[in-house]
Structure 1
Amino acid sequence: MSGAVRELFVPASTGALHALEFGRDTGEYPPLICLHGVTGSAWLWHDVAQELGKTRRVIALDLRGHGESYWPELHAYLTDDHIDDLETLVQSLDLPLFDLAGLSWGALIAIGYTARARARVRQLAVVDVEPNFERGEKEVDARPTFFQHRIAALNYERKANPMASDALLDMYAFHSIRPIVGGWERKHDPFFFSCWPFRRDNYWNALREIDRHMLFVHGERSFVRGAVMRQMAASARRGKFCEIAGSGHLVPLERPIELTDALRQFFTTVGSITANTDCAD
């Protein structure tokens, strides 16, 4: 069971950005914007946004090339392009101040945006990402491009995210594919089967320059290195590290309750994280 989810479409440079909206402005906390990673979608944040939406407005964005957002013809998918889209969303919704939470590529976008427009961002949560990469942008692991049946897509997501609940996984898997003749295909630009442009990025310097409170969340079972994320928190001016036990890379999908607890406490009480997670300054 879940509450109402509103869909937003915001005009962008060559198309429209799609977002999901949860909760409402209560005056107690500023809005929260959530960003997913490569080949994901806004629905990844559903359970976290539902809970946090009980006390504030939460907006989960489909990045360009993903979900219901537009696909640029010339594959304009640099992190800076996504930062431009985030700025478009913020201006269209007239958000003078807000919090940010980003997973993976979405976290790099959040860091880059905060470095560019720090006056608008109150606090920032960086979920399971490293600020630079050893593998090149073309070194993308093979993954299915087509499924004959919806259940095949669900089974693939189950294998990739074994700790996710059945209800959330089914919702996420359904919104990650679309019907075509003879089956189902991924609901993102096929470009991402062979290229992840964010592998060009290096955000170490940006992390050191940002003067906002930042929470660095690591999934215990993730391929992202916890030691690197601890170093990120130590490098930031106001950083705190938090590890979610038992979670893989897609923390909002596998451990939404624990992530919600950590985000709620971070965004409502700066510097005080007491959830059932391994958190430290």
Structure 2
Amino acid sequence: MTTFLHGANAYANGIRQHYLRYGGQRKSGDNDRDPVILLPGITSPAATWGFVGEVLGRTFDTYIVDIRGRGLSEASAALDYSLDAQADDVLALARALELPRFSLVGHSMGARIAIRAARQRPRGLARVVLVDPPVSGPGRRPYPADLNWYVQSIALCRGGAGPEDMRAFCPSWTEEQLRLRAEWLHTCDERAVRCSFEGFHLDDVHADLPRLAAPVLLIAAGRGDVIRQADIEEMSALVPAMRVARVPAAGHMIPWDDEAGFYEAFGNFLGAEIQPSNQSQRRIQDAG
């Protein structure tokens, strides 16, 4: 049975923000479980994270957000695509949804948005999960990806490219994953992607980390070069109480590479363990 409830829009921080909602109200004993707001990466519209939303929705009231300039959220030539604007978006959305408490789960760019938002110490922020955040910034090694990889694949999808065209960019992905990427990638505004990629190298999220007050969990990929052991140690020094979990078999797109390991990495950090459905378990077994 699906946990998907609906897609919807909210006007928050001066723009229309689109999100997908899974699960609805979830309770554990006498205590409400805090809702989860999931923030995807640089070219990942909310729909591409639906398989994760289905699972999270079994335990938590879950909102997957189309970051401005992606998916069905607002995009325009005049829109501010900066990290600060993105961080303000998520906090304004939480207020618009009237969430008294919530947790942020951000992947890649979404993790940097979560850091910048959490720096403000907003009322109601319960927990922050950072999934393989880019650690690039002023004076640091560059983000290990080529901007043209994003730009070229977006251009192909604007021209009607299909899953086989995407396979050249994501050779290890399943047919279903490639189909979703081909379907939704054209909704990523190239200006938004360029601005975010540039921000990976200009925005100093390390300066934000000591200002975080909410509990933090870092989930790091065991493969790939986005975050190294030295980076984990530096972040741990900046956030001494930060919990760290590794997913050894996964690259940067952790739930795509090792979905089971991704859920296990959360443990009970969000207030309850994540329980995959029978359907997701079969998908995980098939992927293995």
What is the TM-score normalised by the length of structure 2?
0.79
Please list the CA deviations of residues 77-123 of structure 1 after superposition, one character each: whole Å capped at 9, or x if unmatched.
11010112112211110011111100111111101111113432111
Name the residue aligned to 2:216.
214
Distance 1:27 1:238 in 2: 27
1:1-281 to 2 correspondences below 5 Å: 2-28=2-28, 29-133=33-137, 134-135=141-142, 140-142=147-149, 143-144=152-153, 145-147=155-157, 149-151=160-162, 154-176=163-185, 186-192=186-192, 194-195=194-195, 196-199=197-200, 200-227=202-229, 228-268=231-271
Identity %: 23
Contact 1:124 1:215 in 2 (8 A): yes
Contact 2:118 2:213 in 1 (8 A): no
What is the TM-score normalised by the length of structure 1?
0.81
**Secondary structure class of the residue paired with 1:170:** helix
Distance 2:107 2:258 in 1: 13
Contact 1:157 1:173 in 2 (8 A): yes
Which letter maps to 2:80?
A
Pair 1:79–1:123, CA change in 2 (3 A)? same
Distance 1:80 1:21 in 2: 24
Of 15-24 and 217-226, more deviation after overlay is shown by: 217-226
Alpha-carbon deviation of 1:146?
1.9
Contact 1:105 1:198 in 2 (8 A): no
Q: Which structure shows the bigger proportion of residues in helix conformation?
A: 2
Pair 1:233–1:173, CA change in 2 (3 A)? farther
Contact 2:3 2:57 in 1 (8 A): no
**Unmatched runs of 5 consecutive residues or more in structure 2:** 274-288
Which letter maps to 2:217?
L
Distance 1:162 1:245 in 2: 20
Of 115-124 and 228-237, more deviation after overlay is shown by: 228-237
Which letter maps to 1:266?
F
**Secondary structure class of the residue paired with 1:88:** helix
Which letter maps to 1:208?
P
Distance 2:136 2:161 in 1: 35
Distance 1:87 1:263 in 2: 23
Distance 1:217 1:171 in 2: 24
**Unmatched runs of 5 consecutive residues or more in structure 1:** 177-185, 271-281
Cα-Cα RMSD: 2.5
Which letter maps to 1:222?
G
Distance 2:34 2:193 in 1: 36
Pair 1:237–1:101, CA change in 2 (3 A)? same
Name the residue aligned to 1:180.
none
Pair 1:203–1:193, CA change in 2 (3 A)? closer
Alpha-carbon deviation of 1:216?
0.9
